[in-house]
Amino acid sequence: MKTECRSERFALHDKIYPCPLSVAMDLLGGKWKAVILYHLQDGPQRFTVLRRLLPGATEAVLSRRLQLLEQDGLLSRQVFGEKPPLKTEYALTDFGRSVLPALNALLQWGNHVVMERGQFVD
């Protein structure tokens, strides 16, 4: 029996979902969450570096997405120093690393879509 057929509903963090794909999309969905996780796969990054890697995201949006990813246990946040300016780094947790194979599969599919139906822009 498939996992998604074991129940009609699933619960995570006080939310009820109709299927496991809904759980995954809630954790990774939106414009920036998956992209943030992708950019953390090679190691911890500071907020300013992530901001440069995501030029279309405002500071407020990036900050909120990082908070949500931390709340969901996909990334960790470490603050260095006691007085401003503080150095803050974000890194994938083991749970966050577990999604990398799926993200890389989506990346490959996205590249295929662009090559077949779109174009790369310099």
* pLDDT of res. 5: 59
Q: Is residue 13 part of a domain?
A: no
Q: Is residue 18 part of a domain?
A: no
| 116 C-beta neighbours (distance < 10 Å), count | 7
Q: Is residue 12 part of a domain?
A: no
Q: What is the pLDDT of residues 23-33, one digit of tens each?
A: 899 999 989 99
**Structural domain of 90:** 32-117
Q: Is residue 1 part of a domain?
A: no
Sequence-distant (6+) residues with CB within 8 A of 101 are: none
Q: Is residue 104 part of a domain?
A: yes
pTM: 0.88
CATH of the domain at 104: 1.10.10.10
Q: Is residue 82 part of a domain?
A: yes
Task: Give the span between the Cα atoms of 50 and 89, in whole angstroms.
Answer: 10
Domains of the chain: total: 1
